[in-house]
């Protein structure tokens, strides 16, 4: 059976895999109001300026700024009130010298005006006349045409994951449909004679399937669509049959368990039969998750994850997520959410190996304390109790108590 020939650093292993990925899952046209979390396939240009008319940002009086110069509480300026700007319609009036018009927030600026004085800085002197108690500058309290966006501006680049703000901005421009990358379909296979479905009661020696569902959640969270192929017995024929089916029907395949170097290892054998070039990496110098398989078979990524739930999730974050992002053509990636904290205790590590340690965050007077959670990698509730992970780089022999660490939030 295959053995670990060389344990590669995680970064090098990922680079080898990513170089072999050439295409995404295609694109599709969808309604903008259903595009939250989707990735733009092409850049989106503004069809018109925004705002498309100059408008007031306050309730007050639209006027010519020069008519207010020198105005104060003790020496107000007196302007003739010639009308009111209707909401949701053109102003319909022209304001001349020493004149003003009542305007409301969002109202269209009348012709002849270049500023708005807030209503708090005015008072009615007599019918048809307004006292201005504060001077304003040209452009004060107004938004000019195109101040937000001008026609032809790129408002959303290609490869951008759409947030609430982008959805609102696109709607403001009347862009109700847009082209996005299709969600990659990811086949998930869980192997092991001892593994049973979660709804069943385990007999002695059996365990409920954890990896299928934690990986399904991870895939869905990061823009993919998961396709579950069930629990596969520890036989070459069964694993081969399901793997061939999944590779045909999906854009990417994940197989959990069967990647360790032992007599029960089936994943490496089957992966090398699925297509060229086959297995690229077998073994990554990381803890947890050393027995990881990275492969490309007939232009589709196949990843073999360790069977232990903690190892499977940590490795999926390191390798499955970047592959999904590339298949989605996600090029404008936001920073990974993290927080700085002080390590509560000393942590040891092996030089040359990258370690990922789950930690719990506790609020203290001067910030946060990161408290490591120890346990074997088959204990899923280690991650349930954790707020994030800290990385011990391969160049270090550990981290010291009190040291500032970056906690990658989960």
pLDDT(51) > 80 = yes
pLDDT(410) > 90 = no
- Candidate from 39-53, 66-80, 270-284, 371-385 with smallest mean pLDDT: 371-385
For residue range 399-409, what is the model confidence (pLDDT) as tens digits? 999 999 999 99
Closest by Cα among 308, 283, 307 to 293: 283
Tallying the residues shown for the chain, one arrives at: 410
Q: What percent of the chain has pLDDT over 70?
A: 97
Q: Compute the distance between CA of residue 75 and CA of residue 133 in angstroms, rounded to an integer.
A: 7
For residue range 115-148, what is the model confidence (pLDDT) as tens digits? 999 999 999 888 999 999 999 999 999 999 999 9
For residue range 186-200, what is the model confidence (pLDDT) as tens digits? 999 998 888 999 999
For residue range 67-112, what is the model confidence (pLDDT) as tens digits? 999 999 999 999 999 999 999 999 999 999 999 999 999 999 999 9
Q: Which CATH code fits 338-409?
A: 2.40.340.10
pLDDT(390) > 60 = yes
| R_g of the chain, CA atoms, integer Å | 31
Which pLDDT score is estimated for 266? 81
User: Could you state, in order of their start, the residue ranges of all structural domains in the chain?
Assistant: 10-26+182-327, 27-50+154-181, 55-143, 338-409
Question: Which is the CATH superfamily of the domain at 10-26+182-327?
Answer: MoaB/Mog-like domain (3.40.980.10)
pLDDT(318) > 90 = yes
Which pLDDT score is estimated for 258? 52
Question: Which is the CATH superfamily of the domain at 27-50+154-181?
Answer: Molybdopterin biosynthesis moea protein, domain 2 (3.90.105.10)
Give the mean model confidence (pLDDT) for residues 15-30: 90
Which pLDDT score is estimated for 377? 67
Q: Compute the distance between CA of residue 213 and CA of residue 188 in angstroms, rounded to an integer.
A: 9
Q: Which CATH code fits 55-143?
A: 2.170.190.11
Question: What is the token pair recorded at 174?
Answer: 């009347």
Give 5 or 315, the one with higher predicted confidence: 315
Which pLDDT score is estimated for 262? 52
For residue range 255-296, what is the model confidence (pLDDT) as tens digits? 997 544 453 478 888 999 999 999 999 999 998 888 899 999
For residue range 322-351, what is the model confidence (pLDDT) as tens digits? 999 999 999 998 888 999 999 999 999 888
pLDDT(380) > 70 = yes
Give the mean model confidence (pLDDT) for residues 153-161: 96
DSSP secondary structure, 13-66, as one string: HHHHHHTT------EEEEEGGG-TT-BBSS-EE-SS-BSSS-EESSSEEEE-GG
Average pLDDT over the chain reads: 92
Q: Compute the distance between CA of residue 190 and CA of residue 229 in angstroms, rounded to an integer.
A: 8
- Contact indicator for 134, 69 with CB cutoff of 8 Å: no
Give 291 or 58, the one with higher predicted confidence: 58
Question: What is the token pair recorded at 210?
Answer: 């954890």
């Amino acid at each position: 059976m295959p053995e670990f020939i060389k344990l590669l650093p995680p970064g090098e292993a990922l680079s080898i895999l990513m170089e072999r990925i050439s295409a995404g899952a295609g694109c599709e046209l969808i309604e903008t109001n259903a595009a939250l979390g989707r990735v733009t396939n092409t850049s989106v240009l503004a069809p018109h300026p925004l705002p498309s008319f100059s408008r007031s940002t306050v309730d007050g009086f639209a006027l010519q700024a020069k008519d207010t110069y020198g105005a104060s509480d003790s020496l107000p300026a007196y302007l003739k009130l010639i009308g009111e700007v209707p909401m949701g319609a053109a102003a319909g009036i022209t304001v001349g010298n020493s004149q003003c018009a009542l305007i409301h927030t969002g109202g269209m600026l009348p012709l002849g005006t270049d500023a708005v004085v807030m209503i708090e800085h005015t008072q009615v002197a007599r019918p048809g006349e307004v006292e201005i108690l504060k001077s304003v500058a040209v452009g004060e309290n107004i938004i000019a045409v195109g101040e937000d966006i001008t026609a032809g501006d790129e408002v959303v680049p290609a490869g951008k994951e759409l947030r609430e703000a982008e959805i609102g901005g696109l709607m403001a421009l009347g862009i109700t449909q847009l082209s996005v990358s299709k969600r990659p379909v990811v086949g998930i296979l869980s192997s092991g004679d001892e593994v049973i479905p979660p709804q069943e009661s385990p007999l002695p020696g059996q365990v409920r399937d954890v990896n299928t569902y934690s990986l399904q959640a991870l895939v869905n969270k990061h823009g993919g669509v998961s396709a579950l192929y069930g629990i596969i017995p520890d036989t070459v024929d069964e694993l081969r049959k399901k793997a061939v089916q999944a590779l045909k029907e999906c854009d990417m395949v994940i197989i959990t368990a069967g990647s360790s170097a032992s007599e029960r290892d089936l994943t490496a054998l089957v992966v090398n039969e699925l297509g060229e070039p086959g297995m690229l990496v077998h073994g990554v110098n990381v803890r947890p998750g050393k027995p990881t398989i990275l492969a490309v078979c007939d232009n589709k990524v196949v990843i073999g994850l360790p069977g232990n739930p903690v190892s499977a999730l940590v490795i999926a974050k390191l390798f499955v997520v970047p592959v999904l992002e590339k298949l989605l053509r996600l090029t404008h990636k936001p920073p990974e959410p993290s927080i700085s904290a002080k390590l509560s205790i000393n942590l040891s590590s092996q030089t040359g190996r990258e370690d990922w340690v789950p930690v719990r965050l506790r609020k203290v007077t001067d910030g946060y304390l990161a408290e490591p959670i120890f346990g074997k990698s088959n204990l899923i509730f280690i991650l349930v109790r954790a707020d994030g992970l800290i990385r011990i780089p391969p160049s270090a022999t550990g981290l010291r108590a009190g040291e500032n660490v970056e906690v990658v939030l989960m």
